[in-house]
Structure 1
Amino acid sequence: MVPANYTWMFCSESNDRYDYLHSRSVPNAFKADSDVSCNKLIKSSVSKDVVKGVKFRFCLTNSVGSCCISIHLNANTHKDMTPNLLCFQQKPQYQPQLQMIQMTGPSDNDYIYINFKDFEYDRKWEFPRENLELGKELGSGAFGMVVQATAYGIKKPGVSQKVAVKMLKEKHQTMEKEALMSELKMLTHIGHHANIVNLLGACTDSGPVYLIFQYCCHGDLLNYLKNNCERYHKSVTDEMPQVRQVSISVLPFVYLLNYSLQSWCDPESFETPDEQTEDLEALTFDDLLSFAFQVARGMEFLSSKNCIHRDLAARNVLVTNGRQVKIGDFGLARDIDNDSNYVVRGNVRLPVKWMAPESIFQGMYTMKSDVWAYGILLWEIFSLGVTPYPGIKVDHMFYSMIERGFKMECPYYANETVYGMMCKCWALDPANRPSFSKLVSFLCDLLTDREENVGLYLC
C-alpha cells in the first residue's frame, strides 16, 4: 500500500488562485499491486463558516497519481463538508523528480508538494523561438526528449551558445503540458547555482513548450566515471617517476583545486570555469572529492529552497568544462522501462537501490531521503561508476536487508574517512543523517587539507 497526502484548498470568487487550508497524511491510500485497482473510500471534513461564493478543492496525491474534487460553497451548503473520494490507479503521467515542498507540521514527514500550476509565469524568461536552432537528440523517454540546440543571443546579443532543450513528445496529453509548465515556473522560482543545470529560458508561445538549459559537454557523471576509470591515479604524484620531481601535469590540477575552493565554496558564484581550461588526462582521488563536494553544494542549495530531488544519482549529474558538475532532472528523457536501475514496485518503476527505507516502504521523500541517495551517489563516485549493491538482486531479500540496516562495503577508491561519511548518510533513522550543509563543510575541509599537502609538495 502507498501512503498519500490530502489537501484542502480554498478560493474566493474574487480570486482565481487556490490557497492551502490544511493537509494531512493518509496511510495506505492506494493499492500498490500492479494488477489491482484501489477502491478505498477516503473521508475527510473541514469546518468553515458559511461564506457565499467560496470554492473549495480537496485533493489526494501520492507517487501513483492524484485526484481532486471541487466544492462550491453557497448559502445552502452545510458548513461541515465531508467529501467521499473514490480513487483508482491512474496511467503514469509526467511529473518532474525535483519538487518544492511546504512544511505543514513539526515532523519532517509533514509536508505537501507545492503545485505551481496556478502560479504566474514570469515572461522575462521567454526566448524567441526563431532564435533557437534544434540539433541532435541527447536523450529520449516515455514522455519527452532532450535535444542539443544553438540559441542565438540568449546570454549576449549577437552571440550564439550551445544549449540543451527539454520538450514533450509530439503526442502528449494536456496534463503533461501543464506539468512541464509547472516545472518551468518552479525552476524560475528556485534560481541559479553553480552546481545545478540552470534554466536559461523557455519558449511557450505559438508552439510546443521548450525549456532551455545549460549544455554540459561531457555528459552524465556515471558514464564520465566509467570512461575515465582506466586513467585513474590515486594522486597527482602517482604520475611522477621520481618522488621529488614536479610533473607539468600538477599545475592545471592545482589551478582547478584552487578554483573549486575559491569559487565553488562561494554560494554567490554560479559561473563555469574558463571554457579553454583543458581537463586533465588522469582522474585523481582529489577529482572524486571535488565531484562529491560540488554535488553536496548543489543539494545544499536545493535544500535551502525547500526542494527535494527524489532521484539523486550519478546518471542525473552532468559534467562540463573544468570538471564542474551540475545536478539535473532528466526523468522526462529517460527510458525507464528499459533501464535496469528502475525497478517495478507496485505499478510504478522506481530507482530502488538509491532510495531511503522511508521512501521505499512509506512513499515519503524528504531532504533526509535525498541525503541517503547522496550516500549511494558517493559510493558510485568512489567505485568509478559501479552499480550500487553489486551482484544483489532487488527482491524480497534485498528489501529485508535494507530494513535491517545493511550497508555496502567501502568502495575500492574511497578511504575510511569518506566511507564513514557514506555510512552516516545511510542511518536508518533519517534524523541521524547529516544535513547537506554539514556534508559541504566536511568535504570542504578534506579538500583544503589535500590542497595544503599539494602546496607543501610543490614547495
Structure 2
Amino acid sequence: MHLFLLLTLQATAAFGQIDPAHCRYALGMEDGRIKDEDITASSQWYKTTGPQYARLNWEEGDGAWCPQGQLEPSDSQYLQVDLGRLTFLTVVATQGRYARNSGNEFARAYRLNYSKDGLLWKSWRNRLGNAVMEGNKNAYTSVINDLHPPVITRYVRLIPVTKVSTTVCMRVELYGCPWEDGLISYSAPEGQLMMPPGYPIASLNDSTYDGAHERRRVTHALCTHGSFSILNGYVEMEFVFDRQRNFTSMKVHSNNMFSRGVKIFSSVSCWFKPRLIACWEAEPVSFKTVLDDRNPSARYVTVPLNRRAAKSLRCRFNFADVWMMFSEISFQSGNTHTRTRDTILPTQMTLVVTSPPVTSYPPDDVNTPILIGCLVTIILLLVIIIFLILWCQYVCKVLEKVRRETTDRELKDSIGTKLSLKKQILKLDKHIFLLFLTGCGGGYAEPDVTQCTPHQCFHSNAPHYAETDIVRLQGVTGSNMYAVPALTVDSLTRKDISAAEFPRQQLIFREKLGEGQFGEVHLCEAEGLPEFLGEGSPLPERDGQSVLVAVKQLRADATSQARNDFLKEIKIMSRLNDPNIIRLLCVCVSSDPLCMVTEYMENGDLNMFLSQREIESTLTHANNIPSVSLSDLLHMSVQISSGMKYLASLNFVHRDLATRNCLLDRRLTIKIADFGMSRNLYSSDYYRIQGRAVLPIRWMAWESILLGKFTTASDVWAFGVTLWEIFTLCKEQPYSLLSDEQVIENTGEFFRNQGRQIFLYAPPLCPPSLFELMMRCWSRDIPNRPTFEGLYQALRPHVNQ
C-alpha cells in the first residue's frame, strides 16, 4: 500500500514572478499616490491628527495620525490603508509624531492585519508565530520591518500595541509590488507530523498558512506544505485560477531516490472545469510517467495538457512506490495564439503560475493593404529608433570630452601630476562618468562608447589586484574563496597535496547543497572517516555513526583551466589550519570526478541562523522563541575577525566575506567558507551580468567595484558589512532600499568623496563604539581602515563583559 506523499509547495507564488529581495518599492503614502480617502482609521483624537496625516516624513496637520484618548493594552485601534489592488507587501516603515519638535508620541510596537476583500481579515505572524512587530523608540527616526513572510493583500491595518496606558501616534509607509499572478487558490491534503526512524520529528505544516481547513484538507490558500497520509494509492490537488486559460503543460519537480522508496509518480490524470460553477468535464488528460531505476536525481516531469481550456484543474497523482516527493509545480498557459513559459527558481520550492499577456492578432483573412501598412509603420519606427541610438552615442562622446577636461584640472590640483596614477584615475572617472551621466560605459580598459550597452557598464573581466601577485582559485562554485600569492602555486603535482585520498565508495550522497559554474557541492555521509583520519582528527565524536561532510565535486566536463584551479585550491586548502577556517579533511583525486571533502557545519550558515532568531529578552524566554544575546553576537564577531586575521597573516584575500559564508557547528563555532555563491538561496546578493551572478557588490569596497582591486583592506570593508548583518540579525540585505544600479552609483559617490555617499544605518542592537568601528572599515581612504589584527584586538575585550 502506498502510504505517504511528501509535498512541498511554498507559497506566495510570488517567488516565481516577484523576488522579495527586490520588491521593495514605496506604495504611495509619502508621495501622495495613496489618496486621503483611501486612508481611514477606527478613531482620531482631533481633526488635525486624522488618518490622512499618517504619511511618512510629513509634518502637515499636527504631524501624524493619533487615535482618540489614551491607548490601553486591551485596545484595538487601527489605521487602515486601501492599496487599490492586490499587492505583494514586503516592508512596513513607521515613525512617531514629531511635528517640528513639538510632539513626542510614538508606537513602541504594533500588529498588522490584512485582507484581500476588506471583509475577511487575517493577522500577520512571522515564521515563529509572533504577531507583534517592533515599533519606534523616538518620534522622528523611521523603523523598517521586513515582513517574513510577505503577504498578498489589498487592505492593511496597523494596530498599535502597548503594555501600559499611553498616547500613541503613527506615520507610515508601505513597500512592495503589484501582484499580477493568476493563481487564486489551491487545495491539497493537510500536513502532519513526519517521524522517520533515526531522524528528528518534523512538522510539515505551514507556519504561514492563512487558508481554511476542511476535513484534513487546506483550501483557499497560496501556501502550504506537508506530509500526508494517503490510503488509496493517489493524492489529488485542485488549482483555481483568476480566469479561464488554455493550459499547455504542467511541470512537476519530483525526487527519484528509489533506493529509499521514493519515486516520481507513476501516472497523473487531470480534470478540467471551464467555470467555477460548472461540473468537471468527463474526459481527463492522462499521462503515464517513464520510471527510471538507474538515475536517483530529482528531475522535472512535463505533463502535456493539450491546450485544454479551464478556470480550475484537479490532478490525481498515482504512487509508484512508498513515497512521492514534490518540490515544485508550475503551469504553462496561453491564449489561442500565444504560449508562455514560467521562469522558476529551482531552489525555491514554489508553486508558480504565470499569467500571459492577452495578445490580439488580426484574422487570417486580413487584407494585403493592412499588412503593407503595418510593415511600413514598423520600418519607420525602426528608422526612428536607429536615429535616436546614433544621437545618444554622439551625446555620449561630447559629454565624455567635457567631463574629461574638467577632471584633468581637478586631478592636477588634488592628486598631483604623477603620470601612472593620473592615467589610472582618468580611466576610472571615465567609467563613472559614462555609467552615471549617460547610462553606458566600458570596463576598466578603454571603453568604446559607440557600442556601449547597459550590461557593459559593469564588467566581470576587470583586473584584480592584491597586495602581491595572486592566483585566483575558481573552485567548483565559479567564485573565488581565496586569492593567494602566486609563488605558493606556481607548480603542482600529486605529492604537493598533503590531504589523504579517501575511498570514494565510502561517500554516501544525502542531498545537493549548491551548484556552481564548474561543479556541485553535496552533503554526504562519510563512513569510517574518523578512523581514516586517525588521532588529531578535527571531527567531533559521533559514537560510531557516519560523519556528515560537505563534498565539492568538479564536473567531468569542466575545462582544463577549471581542473587545474580545483587542484590548486586543494593544495592551498590543505595548508590552512585555523579554528575559524573551514578544514579540508581529505580528497578523491585518483579518478574523476575530482572531489574535496571538507567539514560540514550542522547549524548551517550564519545568515540563516541569525535570521531565524530574535534578540534575547523575557518575551523570548517566556514563549520559548529561539534567541541570541548581545554577548553571542560579539563572540561571533570576534571569531570571524580571528579567522580573517589568520588569512591576512598569509596574504590571502577572501573576496566574498559575508554571513552567508560563515558556517556554524553544533557548538556554535564559526568557520569561514565559500559556499555562498553556489546556493541559489543567496543569488540576489550577487550582481548579475547577462543572467549570471558574479559579484557581491553590496559587500565590496569602492575600489573593488570601480578598479577591480581586491586586497586585505577590501576584505576589511566586507567585514564591516558582515558586522552590520550580524547586529541586524540578518533581517535585511545591506542597502536593501537601493537597487543594484543605485549601489554602484553610491560607489561612485565614495570615489568622488563629496559628502553625498550613503552609509549603512546604525543597527539598534549595535553599541556606538562598535558602529564607529564599522564606519572605520568603510573609510574612503584605504590606509585609514583598520587591520584585522587591530579589529580582533578591538573586539575581543567586548566579549563576556
Same fold by TM-score greater than 0.5:
yes
Is 1:143 aligned with 2:143?
no
**Letter in structure 1 aligned against 2:740:** V
Task: Name the residue aligned to 1:208.
Answer: 593
Task: Name the residue aligned to 1:64.
Answer: 461
Task: Name the residue aligned to 1:76.
Answer: none
Structure 1 residues 36 and 299: CA distance shift in structure 2, 3 A: closer
**Alpha-carbon displacement from aligned partner over 1:13-57 (angstroms, at most 9, x marks no partner):** xxxxxxxxxxx999679x9999989998xxxxxxxxxxxxxxxxx
Give TM-score, length-normalised by structure 1. Answer: 0.63
Task: Name the residue aligned to 2:674.
Answer: 329
Task: Name the residue aligned to 1:80.
Answer: none
Task: Name the residue aligned to 1:97.
Answer: 480
Contact 1:96-1:332 at 8 Å conserved across structures: yes
Task: Name the residue aligned to 1:359.
Answer: 704
Segments of structure 1 that go 5 or more residues without pairing to the other structure are 1-23, 41-61, 67-91, 103-111, 242-248, 250-279, 450-459
**Letter in structure 2 aligned against 1:135:** R
Contact 1:233-1:239 at 8 Å conserved across structures: yes
Task: Name the residue aligned to 2:761.
Answer: 409
Task: After superposing the two structures, state which structure 1 stretch, 281-290 or 346-355, moved more.
Answer: 346-355
2:590 & 2:556 partners in 1: Cα distance?
16
**Letter in structure 2 aligned against 1:299:** M
Task: Name the residue aligned to 1:174.
Answer: 560
User: Residue 118 of structure 1 aligns to a residue in which SS?
Assistant: coil
Structure 1 residues 65 and 115: CA distance shift in structure 2, 3 A: farther
**Letter in structure 2 aligned against 1:432:** N
Structure 1 residues 118 and 356: CA distance shift in structure 2, 3 A: same
**Letter in structure 2 aligned against 1:339:** S
Contact 1:127-1:201 at 8 Å conserved across structures: yes
Q: Note the C-alpha offset of 1:349.
A: 2.3
Q: 2:657 aligns with which of 312, 320, 329?
A: 312
Is 1:129 aligned with 2:504?
yes
Q: 1:118 aligns with which of 464, 481, 492?
A: 492
Structure 1 residues 354 and 36: CA distance shift in structure 2, 3 A: closer
Moved over 6 A (4+): 31-40, 237-241, 345-348
**Letter in structure 2 aligned against 1:188:** S
Contact 2:612-2:626 at 8 Å conserved across structures: no
Structure 1 residues 418 and 35: CA distance shift in structure 2, 3 A: closer
How many residue pairs were aligned?
Answer: 328
**Letter in structure 2 aligned against 1:97:** N
User: Residue 760 of structure 2 aligns to a residue in which SS?
Assistant: coil
Is 1:432 aligned with 2:779?
no
**Alpha-carbon displacement from aligned partner over 1:161-184 (angstroms, at most 9, x marks no partner):** 111101123542222121111110
Task: Name the residue aligned to 1:194.
Answer: 579
**Alpha-carbon displacement from aligned partner over 1:301-330 (angstroms, at most 9, x marks no partner):** 111121110010111111211221111012
Q: Note the C-alpha offset of 1:131.
A: 2.3
Task: Name the residue aligned to 1:257.
Answer: none
**Letter in structure 2 aligned against 1:398:** N
Structure 1 residues 208 and 155: CA distance shift in structure 2, 3 A: same
**Letter in structure 2 aligned against 1:343:** Y
Contact 1:356-1:373 at 8 Å conserved across structures: yes
**Letter in structure 1 aligned against 2:726:** I
2:685 & 2:713 partners in 1: Cα distance?
21
Where do residues 381-396 of structure 1 align in structure 2 (5 Å cutoff)? 381-385=726-730, 386-395=732-741
User: Residue 561 of structure 2 aligns to a residue in which SS?
Assistant: helix
Task: Name the residue aligned to 1:183.
Answer: 569
CA RMSD of aligned residues (A): 3.7
Segments of structure 2 that go 5 or more residues without pairing to the other structure are 1-419, 447-458, 464-474, 533-543
Q: Note the C-alpha offset of 1:344.
A: 3.7
User: Residue 307 of structure 1 aligns to a residue in which SS?
Assistant: coil
**Alpha-carbon displacement from aligned partner over 1:173-201 (angstroms, at most 9, x marks no partner):** 22212111111011113x22111111111
Task: Name the residue aligned to 2:747.
Answer: 399
Structure number with the higher helix fraction is: 1
Structure 1 residues 341 and 114: CA distance shift in structure 2, 3 A: farther
Structure 1 residues 441 and 133: CA distance shift in structure 2, 3 A: same
**Letter in structure 2 aligned against 1:371:** V
Give TM-score, length-normalised by structure 2. Answer: 0.37
Structure 1 residues 116 and 171: CA distance shift in structure 2, 3 A: same
Task: After superposing the two structures, state which structure 1 stretch, 324-333 or 365-374, moved more.
Answer: 324-333
**Letter in structure 2 aligned against 1:184:** I
